[in-house]
């Protein structure tokens, strides 16, 4: 992120695959991140740990505005125009340390905490990008549903994640490229 900043990048667009925790979500939905829960951060592991690099940003940066409001609104309207309909959501992403998928009890806890989707990435990058003043926009592809039910025989697996990614690749590509076009039109890249 800091190399991008030094290269003059002003806006970061990030994508990830995530497990759906919100029971209204379906595999293949696309969630625009409006906020996050940084589980490793709450537990004391944060990319901004250590001496602060003052040339990049403040020691104690704000996180309540991490996901740019204007870009989120623009993406929602681009998605509507492209016919995404109910596929396009806005929600809270939770990052956990990985590499294992979550247990059933963990999924239940995360849902109660207010997370709509769970993954293993993106938040670290967002924290460093925001620290040095870059605008951030991020999308999760709901590649599988998190397992919340002890009677379920489903098991989270990486093949399903990859397969959902393949199925939605073209649609996501058009959403992101149209978003970038519009940002450029508005001169906000």
The residue range among 66-74, 79-87, 113-121, 171-179 that interacts with ligand HPA, by the rule CB under 6 A, is: 113-121
Q: 160-179 mask for ligand HPA (x: CB under 6 A)?
A: -x------------------
Residue 17 sits in the site that holds ligand HPA (CB under 6 A): yes
Residues numbered 89-108 forming contacts with ligand HPA, rule: CB under 6 A: 101-102
Tell me which stretch binds ligand HPA (CB under 6 A): 41-49, 62-70, 138-146, 177-185: 138-146
The set of long-range contacts for 162-170, using a CB threshold of 8 Å and a minimum separation of 24, is 164/17, 164/27, 164/28, 165/17, 165/141, 167/28, 168/28, 168/30, 168/141
Name which position in 38, 122, 143, 171 contacts ligand HPA (CB under 6 A): 143
Q: Is 13 in the site for ligand HPA (CB under 6 A)?
A: no
Q: Which is nearer to ligand HPA, 82 or 172 (CB)?
A: 172
- Kindly list the distances between the CA atom of residue 46 and the CA atoms of 11, 51, 121, in Å, as whole numbers in the listed order: 21, 12, 12
Is 66 in contact with 35 (CB distance < 8 Å)? Answer: yes
Beta-carbon-side half-sphere exposure of residue 173 (alpha carbons within 13 Å): 6
Token pair listed for 28: 């293949």
b/e code 60-77 from CB counts within 10 Å (16+ = b): ebebeebbbeebeebbee
Member of 120, 129, 139, 183 binding ligand HPA (CB under 6 A): 120
Two tokens at 30? 């696309």
For residues 118 and 21, the answer to whether their CB atoms sit within 8 Å is yes
Residue span binding ligand HPA (CB under 6 A) among the ranges 27-35, 108-116, 126-134, 142-150? 142-150
Least distance CB 123 / ligand HPA (angstroms): 12
Please say which residue, 94 or 128, places its beta carbon nearer to ligand HPA. 94
- Can you give the binding site for ligand HPA, defined by CB under 6 A? 17-19, 101-102, 118-120, 143-144, 146, 156, 161
């Amino acid at each position: 992120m800091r190399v991008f900043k030094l290269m003059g990048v002003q806006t970061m667009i990030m994508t990830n695959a995530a497990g759906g925790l919100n029971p209204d979500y379906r595999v293949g939905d696309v969630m625009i991140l409006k906020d996050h829960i940084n589980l490793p951060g709450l537990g004391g592991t944060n990319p901004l740990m250590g001496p602060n690099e003052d040339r990049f940003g403040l020691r104690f940066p704000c996180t309540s505005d991490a996901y740019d409001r204007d870009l989120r609104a623009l993406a929602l309207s681009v998605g509507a125009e492209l016919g995404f309909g109910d596929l396009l959501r806005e929600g809270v992403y939770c990052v956990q340390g990985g590499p294992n998928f979550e247990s059933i009890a963990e999924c239940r806890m995360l849902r109660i905490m207010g997370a709509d989707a769970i993954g293993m990435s993106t938040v670290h990058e967002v924290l460093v990008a925001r620290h040095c003043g870059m605008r951030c926009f991020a999308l999760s592809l709901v590649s599988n549903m998190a397992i919340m039910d002890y009677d379920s025989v489903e098991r989270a697996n990486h093949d399903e994640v990859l397969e959902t990614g393949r199925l939605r690749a073209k649609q996501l590509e058009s959403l992101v490229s149209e978003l970038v076009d519009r940002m450029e039109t508005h001169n906000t890249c």
